[in-house]
Amino acid sequence: MTIQDSTIPDPALPHSSASLLPWLQGSADRVLAWRNGQPVQVGSFLGQARALANELKAESMVINLCENRYAFLLVHAASLLDGRTTIMPPSRAAGPLAEILAQHPDALGVRDGPDRNIPAALDARIIVPTTLLTEPQSFRAEHPSIGLPADHVLAIAYTSGSHSQPQAHYKRLIDLQHSNTGNLRLLSQALGSSFNILATVSPQHMYGFELSVTLPLLCSGIAVDCAKPLLPDDVRSALERLPAPRLLVTTPLHLQALLRADLDLDFEAAVSATAPLDPQLATAVEVRWKAPMLEVYGSTETCVLASRRPAQDPRWTPYAGVLIEPRPDGVRISAPQIPAPVVLADLIELESDGRFHLRGRCSDLLEIAGKRASLADLNRRLLSIPDIEDGIIFQHEATDAVGVKRLAALVVAPTLQEQQIRECLLKILDPAFMPRPLRRVAALPRNATGKLPKAELMALIRNGIPSA
């Protein structure tokens, strides 16, 4: 996997704008985070972040490798106190990490514990600060007005590499404030201006970064739980520890697992992203837990720029100031949170009132044996089969005897055999789109942000990994 860096100048260079904007809001005694059910106030958080900044002494940038959400928040805040930038790598694998370290020779890697996947050659530039291992109650700082230039680059985020090489995107403070305004307007309609967040997604992912890092830092009435629950019972326990109102920030995959577990969950609203949320799944969530199920649309390139409530309306509503322009090669997006328009490979059907439908991605369109389909629709059908916990249909790299790239599938279904899965698919798919091969596996090779890099999928097919 090759990482492409941006041509935007180094954010450590002097800023052209003298306008200062706050990156941390609220008084010293407001609750910013929850750790194991205990509140962390801004004063303690800021004092600990200042101690961490003194320990890091980063020259230019900080590569944030922390898996614990509180540690991630602290490292991000410490870098901002020194006027630095957080790099969020697309993967903790040795290859991508080595590329980032090579591109940013002055950057310092920070993690919150041992990592066996990092080789010794890279380990010399990655530290585990002792400040991260100290309880936040040991620190205290009064909360002054903390600001940075509006065009200061807070973070460098990378695309996932699931469709192409990971590319760097620089996120300025003003950009994140614009997208945060839209997110807060959406969520406050369901929750009011004060609520607590529980996220099952990584803060390294742009969606997780916006909803579980930027939102609590920029909004004085919002706090985030520092857990990253994976199993349904972990989600239930974490929600029970949080005061109401509670927002569950999650993904369609986690929602399916929660519904299968059939637990009584306490939350006042949920929001989903990273993959299309089927309206039937959204409806099932609202019926089961009596809470609005929201969905946001965005990308690493654009941040969040639209939302919908799919149980009530399949159409997306753009955030204020967002301009959607469908094109043959995708969609051109103009928005306050991006310095210049970008083109995404999404197929969009625009309505006269500005709302729109997502019809898949350009790369998802298939034509086999004179018939057309989209990978998004095929995957929706695959995941609608009972007892399938996870799965993906994708286009094989190799061509058949007549030059057609056939489809392949990897499926997580512990209670089904491969032949049973094929029989179910034949009832809902045209035979032209039946994936061959179809392999049952124990788990899909999702990266830290939940994406499925194409190279990893092809490796499972080529190497003949045994079925689960």
Residue 91 lies in a domain: yes
Backbone angles phi, psi at 383, to 5 degrees: -75, -10
Q: Could you tell me the CA-to-CA distances from 453 to 166, 356, 459 in Å, in that order?
A: 10, 28, 10
Q: Tell me: do 270 and 408 sit in the same domain.
A: no
Interval 208-256: pLDDT, tens: 999 999 999 999 999 999 998 989 999 999 999 999 999 999 999 899 8
Any idea what DSSP says for residue 386? Answer: T
Average pLDDT value for residue range 294-306: 96
Interval 357-416: pLDDT, tens: 998 776 677 777 667 777 888 888 898 898 898 899 988 776 655 556 788 999 999 999
Average pLDDT value for residue range 330-355: 93
205 torsion bin: left (phi>0), alpha (psi -120 to 50), beta (else)? beta
Residue 93 lies in a domain: yes
Q: Output b/e per residue, 28-65; b: 16+ Cβ within 10 A.
A: bebbbbbbeeebbbbbbbbbbbbbbbeebebebbbbbb
**Amino acid occupying residue 300:** T
Residue 213 lies in a domain: yes
The residue with greater pLDDT, 371 or 49, is 49
Q: Tell me: do 354 and 405 sit in the same domain.
A: no
Residue 432 is predicted with a pLDDT of 84
Q: Tell me: do 64 and 169 sit in the same domain.
A: yes
Is residue 313 a contact partner of residue 357, using CB atoms and an 8 Å limit? no
Domain boundary among 331, 363, 395: 363
Tell me the C-alpha distance between 456 and 461, whole Å. 9
Residue 90 is predicted with a pLDDT of 81
Q: Tell me: do 295 and 406 sit in the same domain.
A: no
Residue 416 lies in a domain: yes
Average pLDDT value for residue range 149-167: 81
Domain boundary among 346, 363, 380: 363
Q: Tell me: do 338 and 374 sit in the same domain.
A: no
Residue 417 lies in a domain: yes
Q: Tell me: do 6 and 110 sit in the same domain.
A: yes
Q: Tell me: do 266 and 206 sit in the same domain.
A: yes
Q: Tell me: do 357 and 268 sit in the same domain.
A: yes
Question: Percentage of residues in the chain with pLDDT exceeding 70?
Answer: 88
**Amino acid occupying residue 171:** K
- Domain assignment of residue 427, given as a range: 369-463
Domain boundary among 328, 363, 398: 363
Q: Tell me: do 3 and 24 sit in the same domain.
A: yes
Residue 375 lies in a domain: yes
Q: Is residue 349 predicted with pLDDT exceeding 80?
A: yes
At 76, which CATH number? 3.40.50.12780
Interval 405-448: pLDDT, tens: 788 999 999 999 999 999 999 888 888 888 988 999 988 888 76
Q: Tell me: do 351 and 375 sit in the same domain.
A: no
Q: Tell me: do 329 and 399 sit in the same domain.
A: no
Interval 116-133: pLDDT, tens: 667 666 777 888 899 988
At 453, which CATH number? 3.30.300.30
Residue 468 lies in a domain: no
Q: Tell me: do 160 and 260 sit in the same domain.
A: yes
Handedness of CA 363, 364, 368, 372 (dihedral sign): negative
Band the pLDDT of 167: cuts 50, 70, 90. Answer: confident
Band the pLDDT of 461: cuts 50, 70, 90. Answer: confident
Average pLDDT value for residue range 296-308: 96
Interval 188-210: pLDDT, tens: 999 999 999 999 999 988 999 99
In the chain, the number of structural domains is 2
Residue 330 lies in a domain: yes
